[in-house]
Amino acid sequence: MSVEAKRAGILRGIQGCSGMLQGSLVALYRKCGKKGCRCERGEKHGPAYYLSYKEGGVTQMVYIPVSRLAEVKKAMGAFSRYWELGVRLSRLNLGRMGLSKSSRVGHGRGWHERE
């Protein structure tokens, strides 16, 4: 398969990831603070699910209802696939630009292009 055919396949795959979500799924267990509640004895309430992600260096948390958990997990899987495909595309692009390891010769700490 040609490099261009591989690129086209990767780009089609990336397009299929449009419903992706980036972040981590977090399960939280909490105490409510009510007198006499079971959580006073250590039986915390939960789990409550949140999608955690960074925005501008600040962690954000979005509540995820249990009824939407499978949907969110699937969307997170799409992000993982998007990331994998992006790495593969980057490696192909390095080769197309003549910058892959096979197109250069290393000498000590520097390198130069093959003639």
Each residue's pLDDT tens digit, 48-85: 999 999 999 999 999 999 999 999 999 999 999 999 99
Each residue's pLDDT tens digit, 22-35: 999 999 999 998 99
**111: confidence class by pLDDT, cuts 50, 70, 90:** low
Each residue's pLDDT tens digit, 81-108: 999 999 999 999 998 888 877 655 554 5
DSSP character string of 24-92: EEEEEEE----TT-GGGGT--EEEEEEEEEEETTEEEEEEE-GGGHHHHHHHHHHHHHHHHHHHHHHHH
